[in-house]
Structure 1
Amino acid sequence: MITIKSAREIEGMAQSGQILAGVHRELRNIIKPGISTWEIEEFARKYIEGHGAVASQIGFDGYKYATCISVNDEVAHGIPRRQLFLKSGDIVKVDMCVDYLGYQSDSCWSYGVGELSPLHQELLRVTKKSLYLGIAQSVIGNRIGDIGAVIERYTEQDHHFGDVRDLIGHGIQPSIHEDPAVPHYGTPGRGIRLREGMTITIEPMINTGTWQIKSREVPADDWTYYVSQDGTYSAQFEHTIAITKDGPKILTSQGDPEDKPYLL
């Protein structure tokens, strides 16, 4: 079921989103060669709880951690690991959800570690740009397919990267996963029509090679995560947004210049 949020609810989600965004802003200074993904997990959980919020992913479908941390060919749902130390040239994706006073937010960001190859710098640039192209389509009266179509065209047709089909965005609030489904591929003019008060995530996952992915089991944690089928690197950028009469509004803004047209 799709729920329509009031202005009060959207403001509460924005407050939640600012706590989440604060973690990502701090991670820009923390992520460097030699740090372990477990240190990222510890920092994120301490920051979230220190701001009076809860890491919503803990306990969701049995998940144990505040963050999902996926490195290089790991597309999504990777777990933080004590013995996984980042090195120069890595791409690390940190995905978090925050519950602040019952209001949810969700954002993933990709970080280049040390010096990246030109190909992987371009992967980050294109993936982030595709997020904002999707956000620009998120206006009252457009359809879900308009979001996915512009992302697919830009990443695959214009830049020949792989636009992951199997993992998609979603509605959010009151839980972290709600209707509607928000694919990052599609046909313009198709799908559910966007209405004022809807809150969704847009979170393209883009690979340098094929869009296809496969699962990898972690028996010790009773968990499954996803990697690119051909072993190529993957990037992801995600914001939680609200559909308003004044256009799409980013609720998880980190204060980047790209966010300016979409601020509450």
Structure 2
Amino acid sequence: MVNLKSAREIEGMAKSGAILADTHKKLKEKLHVGMDCWEIEEFVDQYIQSQDATASEKGVDGYKYATCISINDEVAHAIPRKGLKLQNSDVVTVDFCVNWHGYQSDSAWTYVIGESTPKINKLLHVAKKSLYLGIEQAQVGNRVGDIGHAIQEYVEVQNHMGDVKDLIGHGIGPSVHEDGPDILHYGRPHKGTRLREGMVITIEPMVNAGGDWRIADRYDVKDDWISFVTADHSLSAQFEHTVAITKDGPKILTSQDPTGDSKYLL
């Protein structure tokens, strides 16, 4: 059952998303070489609370933390680790959700610590552009396959990178993960669930630099938790937005760039 949102609910989710986006922007200013991974967790959790909201990833499937912090070849769902220091040229994805008065939002962003390289710059460019190519297809009457095809064509065919297929986007609100529609980041145009006004989804492509889309499990004994790494140990990046499907086109509810995203804002 797809939970369609009213205009009032979408406005509430946009307020949640604004808190989330602001948290990302403030976090970016703090990231530096030598920073303890745990400081990211503490900052995100405390800042969200200061905005009269909560980090809603806590408690989902037994997860204990506000953030997932995936570094270099880690694709997704890695836990924040106390004592792990960020190194120069580390590629770090920070993913978290916000609950503001019952309204949910979800966004991941990938950062480079210290100095970047041409290889890293290309990876981040491809991952971010693939997100926006997917968003452009999130139109009333299109299908989920249109989103996935646009992402896959750009990542795999044009740039020969790995488009992760085992992890997907999802419906969101009032819970973090709604039953539908599932948002695959690959697919065939004009196939899959038809997009309807009032759907709110996450689009969150994960891109592996090495060209292999496959991932492998990494088990954390202490937390009894499984995260994911690239099968070929290449770098991975992810950019994610919460997006509302409206009659006026897709609307990004977690925008960090009101100028660049102006056509996608409510």
Q: How high is the TM-score relative to the length of structure 2?
A: 0.98
Which residue identity is paired with 2:167?
Answer: L
Task: Map residues 124-203 of structure 1 onto 2, 5 A cutoff.
Answer: 124-178=124-178, 179-203=180-204
- 1: CA distance, partners of 2:230 / 2:239: 16
Percentage of matched positions with identical amino acids: 60
2:190 aligns to what SS in structure 1? coil
1:220 aligns to what SS in structure 2? coil
Q: Match of 2:217?
A: 215
Q: Match of 2:248?
A: 246
Q: Match of 1:118?
A: 118
Q: Match of 1:237?
A: 239
- 1: CA distance, partners of 2:220 / 2:258: 35
- 1: CA distance, partners of 2:44 / 2:114: 21
- 2: CA distance, partners of 1:156 / 1:113: 26
- 1: CA distance, partners of 2:257 / 2:82: 31
Residue 32 of structure 1 and its aligned partner are, at CA, apart by 1.3
Which residue identity is paired with 1:208?
Answer: A
1:10 aligns to what SS in structure 2? helix
Residue 14 of structure 1 and its aligned partner are, at CA, apart by 0.3
- 1: CA distance, partners of 2:151 / 2:193: 17
Q: Match of 1:85?
A: 85
1:214 aligns to what SS in structure 2? strand
C-alpha RMSD of the superposition:
0.7
Which residue identity is paired with 2:115?
Answer: E
Residue 257 of structure 1 and its aligned partner are, at CA, apart by 3.6
CA shift digits 1:74-118 (9 cap, x unpaired): 000000011111111110000000110000000000001111221
- 2: CA distance, partners of 1:125 / 1:258: 15
Which residue identity is paired with 2:202?
Answer: T
- 2: CA distance, partners of 1:256 / 1:131: 16
Q: Match of 1:205?
A: 206
Residue 245 of structure 1 and its aligned partner are, at CA, apart by 0.7
Which residue identity is paired with 1:234?
Answer: S
Task: Map residues 43-82 of structure 1 onto 2, 5 A cutoff.
Answer: 43-82=43-82
Which residue identity is paired with 2:163?
Answer: D
- 2: CA distance, partners of 1:115 / 1:166: 31
Residue 37 of structure 1 and its aligned partner are, at CA, apart by 1.2
1:11 aligns to what SS in structure 2? helix
CA shift digits 1:178-226 (9 cap, x unpaired): 1111000000000000000000000000001111000000010010000
Q: Match of 1:263?
A: 265
- 2: CA distance, partners of 1:131 / 1:259: 12
Question: Which structure 1 residue ranges, 5 or more long, are not aligned?
Answer: none
Q: Which range moved further: 162-171 or 113-122?
A: 113-122
Residue 255 of structure 1 and its aligned partner are, at CA, apart by 2.1
Q: Which range moved further: 254-263 or 175-184?
A: 254-263
Question: Which structure 2 residue ranges, 5 or more long, are not aligned?
Answer: none
Residue 256 of structure 1 and its aligned partner are, at CA, apart by 5.0
1:258 aligns to what SS in structure 2? coil
2:260 aligns to what SS in structure 1? helix
CA shift digits 1:51-78 (9 cap, x unpaired): 0101101111000000000000000000
- 1: CA distance, partners of 2:217 / 2:265: 36
CA contact (8 A) 2:258 2:265 kept: no
1:226 aligns to what SS in structure 2? strand
Q: Match of 1:18?
A: 18
- 2: CA distance, partners of 1:261 / 1:112: 27
